[in-house]
Structure 1
């Protein structure tokens, strides 16, 4: 075999040069990989910092944003309606303010009716639809006042939509912007009451009732409903009734709805018999303001001498 047929082997110098070139390529590849790793780390750090800054900003904004005040005209956690179906005006309450209890009428000129109701409660619906006309006539004439306390007791009984809470918020919005329309809106909610454990009315359907009730400030009330502005107030009002005591009565705490008080006495009769409730009103009024009748003193009469 001739030397020309033999494969040429690289010299030692060529092998060393090839080794150095390979090492250089490996070092370059390592540097590129390291640069990529550092870029990824920097990007991750920046993302974490940005996210942390956003969280801090949210916390700061939340801490300096004032909690929502309660609705105007519901300083007692309820709305008081009197002669001519006019609501008593009260200022908006601070978030941590205690309710201002309405003092009973000491003159005996008007019966005090107080109701604690849930707009999804079927028993509340029975009582309201049965007695709305006779209560309305008494209040309109000045023979009675009614103080209505909406309570979202059944907020978890509407297939996840929190209908009771949404309806309470809407009622508070009406009380805040057009209190003299509250009675009509309250009546409309019960006339169109959904069944318990259903999704209830949508916000738009509630707004339709606002319009049907003749609320003059529809746009403001509509936005208030969308914002859920008085949700937290309604929850706090519920907590206060569950804790008790119930003002101007011997009831220690709310145990269910409806809770109906007449001159501080709890009505526990039929929810579907208007005559029974009317008789209870008459008796409560008589018991509250009746006074013992004094025994007449005989008047001496002159007699002629015989």
Structure 2
């Protein structure tokens, strides 16, 4: 449940001071993760937000889960972390946009594209939700600087999230943790009924 302060926008739903934590490991090019991201917005958030049945009792942390067998997974997660840095209040909006456009970054669609071309596509997508000045910052955060093999400005954030996933032995997406322990019963196919039952049994 640890979360370094600079990554606090990874709390995507609920009250940040809520006593219970639901962590959800999602990959931007995983169809089941996209389904779960929609559930966070349509089902979980109304239940745990102001006026909801579990108001102030649960917060949701989105955990980037890079799946290396998808060639563009790392690049999409870099882009999300760049959006987090450039415009923290638009992080989840951009993340949802990535999920909604994930097919554009599937293996076949990116087969003949260079890394730079994919980053350019991601920047075009970011321009739909970020202001022009923030888009420039976003683009800069995806630009190689320094040593030939030193990565980009958000590489350290990427490493942090990779280490968290490895530390918790997370292998598949989506994976949910409740108060730090894997909740293997959670499914991306759950609707309001199942989430109500889950929260009722845990809180």
Q: TM-score, normalised by structure 2?
A: 0.71
1:120 pairs, out of 11, 29, 38, with 29
Q: Which residue of 2 aligns with 1:153?
A: 67
Provide, for residues 153-192 of structure 1, a one-character-per-residue CA deviation record: whole Å limited to 9, x for no partner: 23x423xxxx111111111111112111111011111111
Query: Secondary structure of the residue that 1:226 maps to in structure 2?
Result: coil
Deviation of 1:235 after TM superposition, in Å, equals: 3.9
Task: Please say if residues 27 and 73 of structure 2, whose CA atoms lie closer than 8 Å, have aligned partners that are also in contact.
Answer: yes
Provide the rounded CA distance (Å) in 2 between the counterparts of 1:234 and 1:138: 30
Q: Structure 1 pair 213/262, CA: closer, same or farther in 2 (3 Å)?
A: farther
Provide the rounded CA distance (Å) in 2 between the counterparts of 1:124 and 1:233: 21
1:180 pairs, out of 82, 89, 97, with 89
Task: Please say if residues 72 and 176 of structure 1, whose CA atoms lie closer than 8 Å, have aligned partners that are also in contact.
Answer: no
Q: Which residue of 2 aligns with 1:61?
A: none
Q: How does 1:26-45 map to 2 (within 5 A)?
A: none
Provide the rounded CA distance (Å) in 1 between the counterparts of 2:159 and 2:35: 24
Q: Structure 1 pair 137/74, CA: closer, same or farther in 2 (3 Å)?
A: same
Aligned residues: 178
Task: Please say if residues 124 and 257 of structure 1, whose CA atoms lie closer than 8 Å, have aligned partners that are also in contact.
Answer: yes
Provide the rounded CA distance (Å) in 2 between the counterparts of 1:113 and 1:211: 30
2:196 pairs, out of 273, 278, 294, with 278
Q: TM-score, normalised by structure 1?
A: 0.50
What are the ranges of 5 or more consecutive residues in structure 2 without an aligned counterpart? 111-116, 145-151
Q: Greater relative contact order (Cα 8 A, min sep 6): structure 1 or 2?
A: 2
1:80 aligns with 2:11: yes
Query: Secondary structure of the residue that 1:212 maps to in structure 2?
Result: coil
Pick the structure with greater CA Rg. 1
Q: Structure 1 pair 73/218, CA: closer, same or farther in 2 (3 Å)?
A: same
Q: Which residue of 2 aligns with 1:6?
A: none
Provide the rounded CA distance (Å) in 1 between the counterparts of 2:67 and 2:173: 8
1:134 aligns with 2:43: yes
Q: Which residue of 2 aligns with 1:223?
A: 140
